[in-house]
DNA sequence: TCTCGGCATGACGATTTCATGACAAGACTG
DNA sequence: CAGTCTTGTCATGAAATCGTCATGCCGAGA
């Protein structure tokens, strides 16, 4: 059974939501403040956290941020405030979904199922530093290194490389690359060739024999893992 | 850049959403019908699909179900209908989120970011590998391996192999293969023979005794599981 | 065994697909 | 404002690939 932790200060809503969730087959557990919620989640480790934004003491936003420091648990906000600004802030703080009170329990249950479907895996990815043999890509730093030495690449080249990197090992068609790097719907696909060529000059040692950025004839290009 | 596919029949909404998404830094691409959407997603493979529910022809629910049969892409519904029943049905069909028109673009963008944050970890190692004894087929990588070593294969050969693979174990007639790989309605069936022959040179070790790509006299070819 | 239709295969010209160098129009910098 | 960097377009040539055809083989049924 799925364990849900509800953080909500209003007694009536808290009680009715717990009952409704139990009806839907969840093991629901509720507390009234953000502080209790943090402790409880650390202790119990529910599969999903439901949280109100307006809480006495620590507010919902801060609670979400603190949860997110240590926990990748799916978080759904349930709030009376329907302001776009609040919604964006909550999602940016680390929430996964935002429902406006009064909530339809069926909808809540469906959203919880959808979210759970999506959150199957647990491990959080570390800072990405991707290595392909002697080629290093640091997306956050905007750096490309070959044999440890930084290689100057232009913005377009870098984006192209990142796009290929995001799908390392997969073939991306010129069309896909045009769409993703340039934002074109249609356009001259030779443009991709030209940039791939330029990139190769910089990141391949042996001309004519690309080891990283290989072309798959008739399909596109890919970055060799 | 993140590629988004929008499926929306209303011209005004479609255009304004595309522009708004591009402002937010997405590579947006739009079609007007569910049927086009399915084709487009198979062709281009966006990172996220936005879809309206009320569409001419195939409706949004069915489109979501069909997408989900082959694709794990995040799907966000954007609909004018605010009925709980519709929301639940869409989420159950496989959607990840549901927004009610008119949508606040900032909220949409925030939800897309949240969804992407959530999906990224899950679908990282999604490279399919299909194995037939010593023969390996990696559709996304555009690779064919025999005894672990990569075999260079042309596009048509690769498509032919994928098609046979999709129906592994069952016989496909030359006519079916012509239709599926070449798109011909009619044509010279010898063409299939020639390509099967070329493919065999590459993926069979013992000439004259095909172990993977078997011909069924009078019927067609099949890939032996 | 003979015959015949289905199948395999090698060759070849036509076409497609790629790589690359050159160039001009911006963008950026000092 | 001049010089440099970046970017998109184009032309060209090389190489890989495609579809067709002709030829010959092989298996199944008589």
Q: Is residue B104 less than 8 Å (CB to CB) from chain A?
A: yes
Q: Which of B80, B101, B122 is where one domain is finished?
A: B122
User: Which helix (DSSP H) or strand (DSSP E) does residue B108 occupy?
Assistant: helix B105-122
Q: Does the CB of A159 fall within 7 Å of any strand D atom? A: no
Q: Which residue is nearest to nucleotide C5 (CA to C1')?
A: B218
Residues A93 and A165 in one domain: no
User: Tokens in use for A136?
Assistant: 């290093």
Residues B70 and B156 in one domain: no
For residues B65-73, give the mean pLDDT: 87
Residues B117 and B134 in one domain: no
In a domain, A165, yes or no: yes
Range of the domain at B101: 2-122
Percent of chain A residues past pLDDT 70, beyond the cut: 95
Sheet holding A48-51, edge to edge: A26-31, A2-7, A48-51, A75-79, A97-100
Residues B149 and B81 in one domain: no
In a domain, A10, yes or no: yes
Report how far residue A69's alpha carbon sits from residue A71's, in angstroms, rounded to the nearest whole number: 6
More confident residue, A66 or B78: B78
How much is the mean pLDDT over chain B? Answer: 89
Q: Is residue A155 less than 8 Å (CB to CB) from chain B?
A: no
Residues A138 and A159 in one domain: yes
Neighbours of B128 (CB within 10 A): 9
Residues B25 and B93 in one domain: yes
In a domain, A215, yes or no: yes
Residues A42 and A86 in one domain: yes
Torsion of the alpha carbons at A34, A38, A39 and A43, rounded to the nearest 10: 140
Does residue A120 carry a pLDDT above 70? Answer: no
Phi, psi dihedral angles at B55 (to 5 degrees) = -130, 150
Contact across the interface for B106 and A115, Cβ inside 8 Å: no
Nearest Cα of chain B lies from the Cα of A33 at a distance, in angstroms, of 24
Does residue A126 carry a pLDDT above 60? Answer: no
Residue B209: per-residue pLDDT? 82
In a domain, A124, yes or no: no
Contact across the interface for A183 and B22, Cβ inside 8 Å: yes
Does residue B126 carry a pLDDT above 70? Answer: no
Residues A84 and A138 in one domain: no
Residues A60 and A156 in one domain: no
| Residue A125: DSSP 8-state | P
Query: Measured between CB atoms, which of B3, B74, B106 is closest to A88?
Result: B106
Q: Which of B72, B100, B122 is where one domain is finished?
A: B122
Q: Is residue A104 less than 8 Å (CB to CB) from chain B?
A: yes
Does residue A122 carry a pLDDT above 50? Answer: no
| Predicted confidence (pLDDT) per residue in B91-112, tens digit | 999 999 999 989 999 999 999 9
Sign of CA dihedral B127, B128, B133, B136: negative
In a domain, A125, yes or no: no
Neighbours of A198 (CB within 10 A): 14
Q: Which of A86, A118, A150 is where one domain is finished?
A: A118
In a domain, A146, yes or no: yes
Q: Is residue A102 less than 8 Å (CB to CB) from chain B?
A: no
Residue B120: per-residue pLDDT? 64
Does residue B208 carry a pLDDT above 80? Answer: no
Q: What is the CATH number of the domain that holds A142?
A: 1.10.10.10
**What SS3 state is found at A215?**
strand
The count of domains in chain A is: 2
| Predicted confidence (pLDDT) per residue in A63-117, tens digit | 898 888 778 899 999 999 999 999 998 998 899 999 998 999 999 999 999 998 8
Nearest Cα of chain B lies from the Cα of A30 at a distance, in angstroms, of 24
In a domain, A123, yes or no: no
Residues B99 and B13 in one domain: yes
CB B141 within 8 A of CB A169: yes
Report how far residue B18's alpha carbon sits from residue B24's, in angstroms, rounded to the nearest whole number: 10
Residue A130: per-residue pLDDT? 66
| Strand D proximal residues, B:147-166, Cβ < 7 Å | 152, 154-157
Residues A62 and A143 in one domain: no
Residue A125: per-residue pLDDT? 41
Residue B127: per-residue pLDDT? 64
Report residue A127's pLDDT band, with 50, 70 and 90 as the boundaries: very low
Report residue B125's pLDDT band, with 50, 70 and 90 as the boundaries: very low
Residue A208: per-residue pLDDT? 80
How much is the mean pLDDT over chain A? Answer: 88
* Most confident of the following: A38-42, B85-89, B135-139, B144-148: B85-89
Report residue B123's pLDDT band, with 50, 70 and 90 as the boundaries: very low
Residue B224: per-residue pLDDT? 86
Neighbours of B203 (CB within 10 A): 21
CA within 13 Å, CB half, B95: 27
Q: What is the CATH number of the domain that holds A64?
A: 3.40.50.2300
For residues B182-198, give the mean pLDDT: 90
Report residue B150's pLDDT band, with 50, 70 and 90 as the boundaries: very high
Percent of chain B residues past pLDDT 70, beyond the cut: 96
Residues B37 and B105 in one domain: yes
């Amino acid at each position: 059974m799925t364990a849900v932790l509800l953080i909500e200060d209003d007694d009536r809503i808290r009680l009715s939501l717990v009952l409704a969730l139990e009806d839907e087959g969840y093991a629901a557990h509720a507390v009234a403040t953000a502080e209790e919620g943090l402790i409880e989640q650390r202790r119990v480790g529910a599969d999903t956290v439901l949280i109100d934004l307006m809480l006495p003491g620590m507010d919902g936003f801060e609670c979400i941020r603190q949860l997110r420091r240590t926990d990748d648990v799916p978080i759904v906000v349930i709030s009376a405030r329907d302001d776009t600004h609040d919604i964006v802030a909550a999602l940016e703080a680390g929430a996964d979904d935002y429902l406006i009170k009064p909530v339809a329990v069926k909808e809540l249950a469906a959203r919880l199922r959808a979210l759970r479907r999506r959150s199957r895996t647990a491990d959080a990815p570390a800072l990405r530093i991707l290595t392909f043999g002697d080629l290093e890509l640091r997306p956050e730093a905007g750096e490309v290194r070959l044999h440890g030495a930084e290689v100057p690449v232009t913005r377009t080249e870098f984006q192209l490389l990142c796009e290929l990197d995001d799908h390392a090992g997969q073939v991306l068609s010129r069309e896909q690359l045009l769409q993703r790097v340039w934002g074109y719907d249609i356009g001259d696909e030779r443009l991709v060739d030209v940039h791939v060529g330029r990139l190769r000059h910089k990141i391949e040692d042996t001309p004519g024999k690309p080891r990283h950025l290989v072309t798959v004839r008739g399909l596109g290009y890919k970055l060799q893992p």
